[in-house]
């Protein structure tokens, strides 16, 4: 019988029984154990000796790598070292891969357990706890007392549904909930038809994609205004295709077609409904323009708690002022309870970094280097994170 559908990650101070609970739970329920300290010792020798020779900072660097390895492993139980919570990267990788259990016991019980061991920090337990207790609490999906029967405590804990890690999801729309690539391609070809322009095929898509990416990046960096972008976009496209395009005429046709598009990504509506069923508040954050958002968000409107359109606010993602306005409007005073979900590295992810908000990159096609706290390759991975 399986104990839990997801990986269980044990955190807590020295002597809280992380390794021993992992072993006992695995013996009873099956599933592998990834013990980061044991793995450290296997590869680098005793931790005490390593601390003495290389210092704590070196140890933490390797520990972080092991935490990420544990997150990527297929182990059912992960036992971490007491200082694992000092690594944000390691802990975020782990919590994306499973549920985190904080093991505690009264300090005298912990001290008695570690007294005869040769841990480098064993005489500093009280100080260490003062520093780390808030971190243990922050990461804990479940808390169990290990001074009695920890397997029974664990069994009881994981029977209850874990609480949400966040209260608010700020969700990008284009290419996160709506299929923007499809809408763009559809609209550009329709505009060409309407204006009887000699352009068709994949070349147009490619050319326009290049243009749009370039001008959007400039808007995100605050180098041009929305109005300038509208002109720039058409000029660049004309140059690339060797055509004389009338800016106003082209924009009228293109925007007119774009606002009619309703291409919702498969599973997006169900995804929003699942988030809200879990009592999360969900708001759309979009750099789309007021006129387009008005119409294009229609299919999503019933499934979210609200929407924030950059043009109306006056600032664009990733500007911190955009996010300040959003948080003020929804009354979210605790930023640590807010998470941004979106596909845009330079808008959504950078916006989160600028504003002190956690981020999850939506990367259905894989995704490379990112500054995001999490990566989700599909909607269900994000549901596991929040």
Binding site for ligand S3P (CB under 6 A): 14, 18, 37, 47, 81-83, 119-121, 128
In the complex with ligand S3P, the residue whose CB is nearer, 67 or 169, is 67
- 7 versus 113: smaller Cβ distance to ligand S3P: 113
Report the residue number, 75 or 304, with the smaller CB distance to ligand S3P. 75
Identify the DSSP state of 264.
B
Under 8 Å between Cβ of 81 and 36: yes
The least CB distance from residue 11 to ligand S3P, in Å, is: 9
Nearer to ligand S3P, 46 or 267 (CB): 46
- Pair 117, 70: CB distance under 8 Å: no
Residue closer to ligand S3P by CB (options 14, 253) is: 14
The three state secondary structure string of 20-74 is HHHHHHHHHHCCCEEEHHHHHHHHHCCHHHHHHHHCHHHHHHHHHHHHHHHHHCC
Beta carbon of residue 313, minimum distance to ligand S3P (angstroms, whole number):
44
Q: How far is the CB of 385 from ligand S3P (least distance, A)?
A: 25
Q: Does residue 10 contact residue 144 with C-beta atoms inside 8 Å?
A: no
The residue count for the chain = 386
* Three-state SS at 171: strand
Q: Which residue is nearest to ligand S3P (CB)?
A: 81
Residue 47 or residue 237: which is nearer to ligand S3P going by CB? 47
In the complex, minimum distance from the CB of residue 158 to ligand S3P, in angstroms, rounded to a whole number: 21
Nearest approach, Cβ of residue 47 and ligand S3P (Å): 5
The Cα 59–Cα 40 span in angstroms is: 9
φ, ψ of residue 119 in degrees (nearest 5): -75, 140
Tokens of residue 66, six digits: 């092991």
Nearer to ligand S3P, 119 or 265 (CB): 119
CB 110 to ligand S3P: min, Å:
10
Question: Token pair of 311, please?
Answer: 């043009």
Which residues fall within 8 angstroms of residue 10, CB to CB, at 6 or more apart? 18, 21, 22, 77, 78, 79, 80, 101, 103
- 3-class SS of residue 247: helix
Q: How far is the CB of 32 from ligand S3P (least distance, A)?
A: 18
User: How many Cα neighbours within 13 Å face the side chain of 244?
Assistant: 0
Question: CB of residue 14 vs ligand S3P: minimum separation in angstroms?
Answer: 3
- Considering the complex, state which of residue 10 and residue 379 has its C-beta at the smaller distance from ligand S3P: 10
CB-wise, 15 or 352, nearer to ligand S3P?
15
Retrieve residue 97's tokens.
Answer: 């891969």
DSSP 8-class letter at 164: P
How far apart are CB 124 and ligand S3P at their closest, in Å? 9
Strand partners, 361: 342, 375
Q: Answer positive or negative: Cα dihedral of 72, 73, 75, 78.
A: negative
Question: Which residue, 37 or 174, is less far from ligand S3P as judged by CB?
Answer: 37
Min dist. Cβ of residue 352 to ligand S3P (A): 29
CB 367 within 8 A of CB 381: no
With 0-12 CB in 10 A as exposed, 13-18 as middle and 19+ as buried, what is 126?
exposed
Do residues 282 and 171 make contact, with C-beta atoms less than 8 angstroms apart?
yes
User: Among candidates 190, 171, 192, 172, which has minimal Cα distance to 180?
Assistant: 172
């Amino acid at each position: 019988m399986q104990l839990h559908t997801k990986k269980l990650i044990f955190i807590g101070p020295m002597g809280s029984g992380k390794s021993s609970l992992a072993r006992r739970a695995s013996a009873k329920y099956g599933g592998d154990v990834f013990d980061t300290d044991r793995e450290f010792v296997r590869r680098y020798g005793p931790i005490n000796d390593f601390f003495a020779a290389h210092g704590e900072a070196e140890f933490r660097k390797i520990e972080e790598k092991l935490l990420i390895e544990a997150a990527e492993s297929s182990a059912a139980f992960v036992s971490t070292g007491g200082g694992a919570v000092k690594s944000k990267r390691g802990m975020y990788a782990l919590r994306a891969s499973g549920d985190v259990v904080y093991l505690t016991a009264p300090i005298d019980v912990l001290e008695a357990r570690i007294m005869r061991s040769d841990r480098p920090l064993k005489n500093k337990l009280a100080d260490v706890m003062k520093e780390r207790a808030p971190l243990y609490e922050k990461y804990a999906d479940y808390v169990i007392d290990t001074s009695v029967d920890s397997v029974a405590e664990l069994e009881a804990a994981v029977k209850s549904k874990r609480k949400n890690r966040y209260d608010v999801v700020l969700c990008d729309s284009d290419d996160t909930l709506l299929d923007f690539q499809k809408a763009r391609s559809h609209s550009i070809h329709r505009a060409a038809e309407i204006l009887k322009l000699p352009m068709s095929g994949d070349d147009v898509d490619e050319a326009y994609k290049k243009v749009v990416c370039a001008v959007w990046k400039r808007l995100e960096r605050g180098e041009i205004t929305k109005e300038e972008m509208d002109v720039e976009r058409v000029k660049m496209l004309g140059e690339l295709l060797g055509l004389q395009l009338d800016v106003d005429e082209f924009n009228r046709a293109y925007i007119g077609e774009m606002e009619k598009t309703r291409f919702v990504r498969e599973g997006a509506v169900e995804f929003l409904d699942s988030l809200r069923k879990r009592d999360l508040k969900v708001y759309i954050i979009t750099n789309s323009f007021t006129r387009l958002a008005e119409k294009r968000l229609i299919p999503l409107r019933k499934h979210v708690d609200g929407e924030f359109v950059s043009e109306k606010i006056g600032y664009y993602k990733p500007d911190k002022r955009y996010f300040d306005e959003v948080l003020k409007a929804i009354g979210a005073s605790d930023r640590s309870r807010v998470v941004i979900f979106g596909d845009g590295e330079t808008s959504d992810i950078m916006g989160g970094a600028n504003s002190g908000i956690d981020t999850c990159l939506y990367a259905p096609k894989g995704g490379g280097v990112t500054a995001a706290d999490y990566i989700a390759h599909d909607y269900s991975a994000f549901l596991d994170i929040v």
